[in-house]
């Protein structure tokens, strides 16, 4: 089995665990907050607040068996948010001239250009696994797949 396939399966497994509430990666991050809120209000968002999450377009390049190989990725490749949160995904164009990106299930799209940033705003209305896709680099044949998993978990 290829490592990409193994990684894909591991990601899906993690998504399943998160969606079923078996694990909660956010709880540990919240516990080290410099401004801890009471447990009862910790998970409640301020009305109208937007959670900003930063991603970067990155490129890896090397030679494998003498053949030059390069791939584009989103970093981080997995984003976990809670149902009900208003999200602003800020994508910074580090590498790659241009990336046409979308979250098909949410009808959200934009273009990330090198040296610029673009913000995609959406509301995490329903729990589930969504994908942020770069349509320039969506497959292995086009130096991808440049896809980030967006996991919306129950609050």
Q: What burial class does residue 115 get, using C-beta atoms within 10 Å of its C-beta: 0-12 exposed, 13-18 middle, 19+ buried?
A: exposed
* Choice between 48 and 115, CB closer to Cu ion: 115
Question: From the CB of 126, what's the least distance to Cu ion, in Å?
Answer: 26
Contact set for Cu ion, span 67-126 (CB under 5 A): 72, 99
Our finding on whether 151 is near Cu ion (CB under 5 A) is: no
| From candidates 136, 147, 150, 153, binder to Cu ion by CB under 5 A | 136
Residue closer to Cu ion, measured from CB, 86 or 100 = 100
Phi then psi for residue 139, to 5 deg, are -130, 170
Of the candidate residues 80, 146, 147, 150, the single one contacting Cu ion (CB under 5 A): 146
| Nearest to Cu ion of 82, 137 (CB atom) | 137
Identify which of residues 72 and 130 has a Cβ nearer to Cu ion in the complex.
72
Q: How many residues bind Cu ion (CB under 5 A)?
A: 6
Q: 95-112: buried (b, 16+ CB within 10 Å) or exposed (e) per residue?
A: bbeebebbbeebebeeeb
Nearest to 127 by CA among 148, 152, 155: 152
Q: Which residues contact 102 (CB under 8 A, 6 or more apart)?
A: 108, 109, 110, 132, 133, 135
Does 137 bind Cu ion (CB under 5 A)? Our answer is: yes
Looking up tokens 């894909």, which residue turns up? 8
Residues that bind Cu ion (CB under 5 A): 72, 99, 134, 136-137, 146
């Amino acid at each position: 089995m290829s490592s990409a396939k193994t990684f894909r399966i591991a990601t899906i497994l993690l998504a399943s665990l998160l969606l079923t509430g078996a694990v909660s990666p956010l709880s540990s991050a919240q516990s080290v907050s410099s401004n801890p809120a009471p447990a009862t209000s910790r998970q409640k968002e301020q009305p109208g607040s937007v959670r900003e999450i930063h991603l970067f377009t990155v490129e890896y390049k090397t030679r494998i068996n003498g053949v030059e190989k390069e791939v584009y990725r989103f970093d981080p490749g997995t984003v976990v948010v809670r149902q009900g949160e208003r999200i602003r995904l800020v994508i910074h164009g580090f590498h790659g001239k241009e990336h046409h990106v979308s979250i098909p299930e949410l009808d959200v799209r934009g273009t990330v250009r090198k040296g610029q940033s673009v913000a995609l705003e959406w509301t995490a209305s329903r729990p589930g696994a969504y994908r942020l896709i770069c349509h320039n680099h969506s497959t292995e044949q086009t130096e991808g797949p440049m896809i980030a998993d967006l996991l919306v978990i129950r609050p």
